[in-house]
Amino acid sequence: MTEFPIQIETDETGITISQDCPSPEWSITGKGGRTDSVFIDRDSAQAVIKALQPFANEVYERESI
């Protein structure tokens, strides 16, 4: 489990995946607090799901044993 969990938000245009980043090297204040985000539009979502499917299958198999 990651110390900084991933947040997933969806709407009619797509999916936004974000994760807080405590790294002071990349923050304006030098105290951290940046959030890294990526937006996946609806047209690209199927390709992302297809790319993640083998990983999801592996996790499912490992947890079902």
- What pLDDT, in 10s, does the model give residues 5-32? 889 999 999 999 988 777 666 556 556 6
Report the SS3 class of residue 63: helix
Q: What angle do CA 30, 36, 44 make, to 5 degrees?
A: 165
Closest CA to 35 of 15, 16, 14, 12: 16
Closest CA to 36 of 10, 18, 14: 18
The pairing of strands 34-41 and 14-21 is: antiparallel
- What pLDDT, in 10s, does the model give residues 31-59? 666 777 889 999 999 999 999 999 999 99
